[in-house]
Amino acid sequence: MPGTAYDFIRIPIPHPECGKTGLYRLRDAVENEVVICAYCGDAIDLSSEDWRSMLGQLAEEYKEIKILR
């Protein structure tokens, strides 16, 4: 099932509390304002204007990259 890079790409998101950086699907970060830290299990808040803007820009760019199978 072909799609775009948006469906598959993972981006690094640091957790400000535990200091670890995990890889999360861009789609999950865009569609939710919170992701769960893979290391400590706490929520990482992505609802700030800065996060929403950056994630939106990334989504636009990666939706243009076609995945061929």
pLDDT for 1: 57
Could you tell me if 45 and 19 are in contact, meaning their C-beta atoms sit under 8 angstroms apart?
no
- Average pLDDT over every residue of 11-26: 96
Q: Which pTM value belongs to this model?
A: 0.85
Res 4 pLDDT > 60 = yes
Alpha carbons within 13 A on the beta-carbon side of 69: 5
As given in the structure block, the two tokens for residue 59 are 């989504």
pLDDT for 67: 87
Res 68 pLDDT > 90 = no
Q: Please tell me whether residue 43 adopts helix, strand or coil conformation.
A: strand
